[in-house]
Structure 1
Amino acid sequence: MTADGQSSAWRDLRPRVLSAMVLVVVAGGCIGVGGFAYALMVLLAMGGMAAEAAGLLRLPVRSWRGVLYVLWAICGGLSAATGHWQYFILFSIGSCVFGAELCTIMCVIIMAGTALLWLRQASIWPVLFVVAVVVASDTSAYMAGRLLGGPKLAPRISPGKTRSGALGGLVGAVLVGGGIALLSGLGSVEMALVWGGVLGVSAQLGDLAESAMKRALGVKDSGTLLPGHGGLLDRFDGLVIAAPVAAAISLAVPGAPFWSAGLHDLVHSLVAGLPG
């Protein structure tokens, strides 16, 4: 790679790092405080992602349908934030009135927001686990891809992603998952390594799915709110998949950190949920 190529590859690193630092401070503070501050952050993020989705799919945000779409996402999260967890399904299904594409994105936004609110109920650790693993996956993939290069992962979907980056992201997610479990003193470190890997793969799938959507729509970024990252959908594409996965796992081990769940816990939870 030439010097110009190297400069081009790293040109977005500084704004990416600076905006990431701001995100860490704001999100970290809200996660730590919990309660109203945390719920407000999640609701604002849900509304922001809905606004970006509307813009991507040519639904004017300032139109009455655009405003309704954004409020729909916020109300879906608000129902969970106020303890009415069952209503998130109704808000998800009901969003079909906006059409199939906008409904699909709305379902993802509402499930992600509800999952993040659910995970914060017991303590700070489940949310920290998910967020740290997703950030580690993204950062490790970015650095490994830039440093090692090599064959593309999915050139038709995202030409910039490499197989070395995907592997680096997986390693970072596994290690950070184990590190959070060790730091918290909760659950099994061994299972945390496993679930860290699962969430890392989930985050990468979310990233690829959003890349495929943007490619189909002919846009580079979902927005411009976050320098170096694009929009909220660009930044949280991995989190919106990883958080619901973690929340679903947590249902198998009520009262315990989700990363303590083993295969037997998952099987028992599924069997117990069967009718009869």
Structure 2
Amino acid sequence: MNATGNQRTGRNLPAAIGVGVALAALVIGSLYTFKAIFLIVVAAAVGLGVHELVKAFASRDIRVPLPVQLVGLVAMLAGAYYGGPVSLVGSFALTVMVLLGWRTFQGADGFVRDATASVFVAVYPSLLAGFAALLLQPDDGAHRVVIFVAITVASDIGGYVAGILFGRHKMSPIISPKKTWEGFAGSALACVAVGAWLVCWLLGGALWQGAVLGAVMVVCATVGDLIESIIKRDLGIKDMGTLLPGHGGMMDRLDSLLFTLVPCWLLLSLFI
């Protein structure tokens, strides 16, 4: 069973589980001690993801300034947590201005290509990661982050189990050959169940609110995973890195998390 699972998903399952548990412990431990520690964890993880993207673009002769990207990431996270959505948008806009100005002084050849890639990295992952800080802002922010992480992880686990047991019909053979509609159904069931349970238990919301949150997030998590897959195909790489055994690079772990942040923040802001 393990050998079959590894062949069908391309994962080292024991290593993937070990890394997942370690990351979950780090996130929860930082959330319920001092919130600023969690922001540092986010900055470190997303910063590694930014480095992986910059390195991947460089393999295709696309120049993205890493120092500016990292400073912009920190500014967006801090701005979002201490100043809210307006500061997040302002920090992002300033980051884009600096990126464009930085590239201007390196000549006209390839300007549009490099500038577009630089703005892309500033959005994905940095701007999207800023919504983790917005999610953390309220007094019950730690609970909100736990719900966000738990639903996204449920999507991954539910999809993995259902895909291994029942997966037959490919979702998108060209983009991600291992994804199946049966796996997506497993993800959906897991996300709806976990969302309904945690929103009711941790935030005192209604079961239907948690179910809606889970249903929206499973779609976004799947889209996020497919988007990263097509980025890797376009760049001609299998994984963004090798940092996390059983997962690949940091961006291979962040892809679905990034795409679920915005809808999670919006819906919890509306519901609670």
Q: TM-score range by the shorter chain?
A: 0.7 to 0.9
* Alpha-carbon distance change, 127 to 3 in structure 1, aligned in 2, over 3 angstroms: closer
Query: Unmatched 5+ residue regions in structure 2?
Result: 101-113
Aligned length: 251
Q: 1:1-276, aligned counterparts within 5 Å?
A: 5=4, 8-9=7-8, 12-58=12-58, 65-83=65-83, 85-93=85-93, 94-95=95-96, 97=100, 99-122=115-138, 123=140, 124-184=142-202, 186-253=204-271, 256=272
The 3 A distance-change label for structure 1 pair 106 and 167 is same
Bigger proportion of residues as helix = 2
**Structure 2 contact 53–240 (Cα < 8 Å) conserved:** yes
> Partner residue of 1:270?
none
Q: CA deviation at 1:85?
A: 4.0
The 8 Å contact of residues 143 and 203 in structure 2, kept in 1 or not, is answered as no
Could you tell me whether the CA contact under 8 Å between 2:81 and 2:137 is conserved in 1? no
Amino acid corresponding to residue 225 of structure 1 in structure 2: L
**Alignment TM-score, normalising by the size of structure 1:** 0.83
Calculate the TM-score normalised by the size of structure 2: 0.84
Identity of aligned residues (%): 26
CA pair 59-91 structure 1, distance change in 2 beyond 3 A: farther
Amino acid at match of 2:244: L
C-alpha separation between the residues in 2 aligned to 1:248 and 1:156? 32
Structure 1 CA distance, aligned partners of 2:39 and 2:265?
16
The structure showing larger relative contact order (alpha-carbon pairs under 8 Å, at least 6 residues apart) is 2
CA RMSD of aligned residues (A): 2.4
| CA deviations over 1:197-223 (Å, ceiling 9, x no partner) | 101111111111111111111111111
1:137 partner amino acid: S
Q: Is the 8 A contact 1:59 1:65 kept in 2?
A: no
Alpha carbons of 1:220 and 1:171: their partners in 2 closer, same or farther (altered >3 Å)? same
Give the 3 Å change call, closer, same or farther, for CA 217–244 of structure 1 in structure 2: same
Higher mean C-alpha deviation, range 159-168 or range 178-187: 178-187
* 1:184 to 1:18, Cα distance in 2 relative to 1, 3 A: same
Q: Distance in 2 between matches of 1:199 and 1:250?
A: 12
- Stretches of 4+ aligned residues off by more than 4 angstroms: 2-7
